[in-house]
Amino acid sequence: NSPYSASKASSDHFVRAFHETYGLPTLITNCSNNYGPRQFPEKLIPLITLNAIRGKNLPIYGRGENIRDWLHVEDHCKAVSLVLANGKIGETYNVGGRSERSNLFIVNKICSILDEIKPREDGKSYKEQIVFVKDRPGHDLRYAIDSSKIENELGWFPNHAFEEGLKETIEWYLGNTNWVENVLTGEYRKWVDLNYGDRK
């Protein structure tokens, strides 16, 4: 429903059109929400994890009822590699984690994991930091994905169970504070400029 979502759908139409009209050899993959190490801190799982341990609010859009299917980034990468190697030209393959969860569930789960592995000094639950904020315009209630095609035709299945992958992801952020700070302060841009900047 949002222009952001519409732009992604339109890109698929353009790719299909060039395949059908001009014979361009194309492959399309559509995935569900990714999670895992090194995800930019604005995304839900790292945002909630990092805000929690910093004593900040844990913002949830609306009432937290929006549902997404969660796919570990390593499973996604393996799927893309498999489609590149064995996918049928002109076809589209959906890649999902078979792990539909509401945003409220995700935030509560992160809080429970942090309560266990990095408790607050005051002994209270991180859940007390949850706040509900105004929903964003055009926010789709549910994204679901049917991965049966890539499973049946190419033999791909996700290897990461969501709850285990979520805990591993949280532990990664807790154990890689230098990486996090580098991103939050924008220091990584210096590396980008140094390696990819104007070299006139």
Measure the CA angle with vertex 184, ends 72 and 68; round to 5°: 30
Check residue 198 and give its pLDDT.
63
pLDDT at 139 over 90: no
Yes or no: say if 46 and 83 are a contact pair by the CB < 8 Å rule.
no
* Bridge partners, residue 142, by sequence: 67
Q: How confident is the model at residue 199 (pLDDT cuts 50, 70, 90)?
A: low
Q: Using CA atoms, how far apart are residues 79 and 86, in angstroms rounded to an integer?
A: 10
Residues in the chain: 200
Q: Which residue would you say has higher pLDDT here, 141 or 54?
A: 54
Q: Rounded to two decimals, what is the model's pTM?
A: 0.89
Q: Which is nearest to 48 in space by CA: 173, 193, 179, 184?
A: 173
